[in-house]
Amino acid sequence: MIIAFLIAAIAILGTYFSRSGNTGDLENTDSANGADTGITANGFPVSLGGNNPLDITGCGKNILLLTKNNLISFSESGKQVYSAHHGYSNPVMTASSKRVLTYDLGGYQFRLDTAKNAVGSKKLTEAIAYGAVSNDGHVAIVTQTERYSVSLKIYDSGLQEVFSWNVTDKIITSIDFNKHNNACVVAALSVEDGSANSKIYELSLQSKKEIFETTLEDCVAISVDYKANGTIGIVTDTAAYLLDSSGKIKSESIYSGKLLLHSNTASDSVTVLLEDTENTRNTRILLIDDNGNTSASTEISEPAVDAKAGNDCLFVLGENSITVFDKNLQQVKIVQTETNPLRTLLFNQKGYVLTAAKLTQFLVSK
């Protein structure tokens, strides 16, 4: 999975390296509101028809659905409240508590929305490789440039550029904003003498300078996240790390087995899901606390398709069911799903399952 990810990332950057596009200022996207989705949503489950669903996430009090052509917002009661046509070839969605960013991976455009309204969009001159959004609407966009390996630009909530940072011979793999939205942590992959090393940077959006740089050797950093106690949680292909606020390594938790999935959004922990080394159909689950200790572990007897963790529970989506665990990885319930589920979502104490045909809601508690 990790090797495939790197190959895909490098291929995307290489393919679009020589392409050029037209620049555009902040565009008015009001005309895109109310896109014809063909969905009649009056409650859960929501039938999706032929909308080709790709992903789901939460924003504000609403559930956001990304399809091949549209961004669609539903209330917690299952009513459609907003929709917009994005028109991207390879759409990717990511969200904070108040904003949702949709960008065209390998293309040139991105848009910013709330759960109910369009904020704006931009068209760039370089191909987009990655994007992230903060709670107050700051947007981080990573592009491939001719002069640098990658360029990171950060825009304010009005999509005006406020920060620019360039690195050579690296691929940015993850970005997270701090709670004050005045700094961000960036993971970048570099390959030296055949070994993959990850560089972790913290960047100040006020001083426009690097706060620290930390090297994690022989690993690929996949996810970075600010935790509630000021530490930074990092998931790599071989270990989970915690850095203190100065960038020093506070703990290293090495795991064995192939990393399948992770969830790094809880305020005080990191969850990793690993392929069992003896039975590859089984999935081992480790909960690593903010001191770097494995505070709980368990196993399920099927491959994991998706996983989402909150501060109080964990969802693990298997081939035909969702297993709900509490914060100590004790099993709470099993929810049967339709075959070939795509995604799961834990949001506002409710669970959601996305399949090709419908979006279903269920209660987390027994």
Q: What is the model's pLDDT at position 366?
A: 61
Average pLDDT over residues 111-132: 96
Give the DSSP per-residue string, 214-238: EEETT--EEEEEE-TTS-EEEEESS
Q: What is the model's pLDDT at position 292?
A: 85
DSSP 161: E
Average pLDDT over residues 42-59: 91
Delineate the domains of the chain, giving CATH numbers in brackets: 256-366 (2.130.10.10)
| Backbone phi and psi for residue 233, each to the nearest 5 degrees, phi listed first | -90, 135
Q: pLDDT band at 238, cuts 50/70/90?
A: very high
Overall pTM surpassing 0.85 (yes/no):
yes
C-beta of residue 23 within 8 angstroms of C-beta of residue 125: yes
C-beta of residue 41 within 8 angstroms of C-beta of residue 80: yes
CA distances to 14, 110, 129, 196, 241 from 192, in Å: 19, 32, 21, 7, 21
| Two tokens, residue 347 | 């949001």
pLDDT in tens, 169-199: 899 999 999 999 999 999 999 988 888 899 9
pLDDT score of 309 more than 90:
no
Choice among 18-32, 84-98, 119-133, 321-335 with the minimum mean pLDDT: 18-32
Q: What is the model's pLDDT at position 265?
A: 86
Give the Cα separation of 240 and 224 in Å (integer).
10
pLDDT score of 99 more than 80:
yes
Q: What is the model's pLDDT at position 33?
A: 52
Give the Cα separation of 23 and 300 in Å (integer).
49
Q: pLDDT band at 35, cuts 50/70/90?
A: low
